[in-house]
Amino acid sequence: MIRTIGHSTYDVEYFMELLRKNSIDTIVDVRSVPYSKYASQYNREALKQCLKYENIRYIYMGDMLGARYKDPKLLFDSGKVDFKKVQKTKLFLDGIARLLDGITKGYSISLMCSEREAFDCHRFVLISGFLAKIGLDVEHIYPDKMVSQAQMEQQLLIKYDKKLPKADLFCHNITQTTQLQLAYELRNQDIAYDITKSQT
């Protein structure tokens, strides 16, 4: 089991309360840039100190599991990051191996990024999607609830329903697994880091 959380603009004490409530003892920061323009309390050094005070480990892995890449080999033709290509890189797979090792050792881990809504964040599409595919349970922490990866995948299917192929008389081999894979790709295109915008 692994969880995820977005720090959003929460007050730090409230954020710590959410972690305590969910028995999190390790935060894995998956932000490519571990600093916030709108919530400086979540800048890497400040956050690390606050977590230390709460006896919560802070591990930075945005260099392994982040969402921003400039290597043309990892981009769609549009200039957006292609998560499927990222998931095949040694760096990403090494990051996943570190997470799995931490879980095996008994740490209660939450991935952390900036977006409050996991559905809009790479932690859901890039990382959690991969973890779910290899059989790990993933849950997303919200102030008033916990949402499973499976529930969020249903949200994916609903959002992209009109763009997904359907089984019919002439194409009967369309499964929900196929639809889900395509829905993940569509979400990837919608939320991915765009190198062309970063250069303007």
- Per-residue pLDDT at 175: 86
The one-letter code for the residue type at 75 is L
- Per-residue pLDDT at 110: 98
Of 12, 60, 11, the C-alpha closest to 34 is 60
Instruction: Say how many C-beta atoms besides its own lie within 10 A of residue 68's C-beta.
Output: 15
- Per-residue pLDDT at 168: 67
Partnered with residue 181 across adjacent β-strands are: none
CATH fold label, 2-198: Protein-Tyrosine Phosphatase; Chain A (3.90.190)
Name the pTM for this structure.
Answer: 0.94
- Per-residue pLDDT at 118: 98
| CB-CB contact of 5 with 17 (8 Å) | no
- Per-residue pLDDT at 172: 66
- The tokens describing 14, both together, are 């409230």
Read off φ and ψ for residue 182, nearest 5 degrees: -70, -35
Q: How do residues 23-60 score in pLDDT, each as one tens digit?
A: 999 999 999 999 988 899 999 999 999 999 999 999 99
How far apart CA 84 and CA 80 sit, in angstroms, is 12
* Residue ranges, the chain, pLDDT below 70: 167-172, 198-200
Lookup result for tokens 């790709």: 185
- Per-residue pLDDT at 169: 56
How far apart CA 113 and CA 30 sit, in angstroms, is 6
Partnered with residue 4 across adjacent β-strands are: 111, 140
How far apart CA 115 and CA 133 sit, in angstroms, is 23
| CB-CB contact of 158 with 42 (8 Å) | no
- Per-residue pLDDT at 171: 66
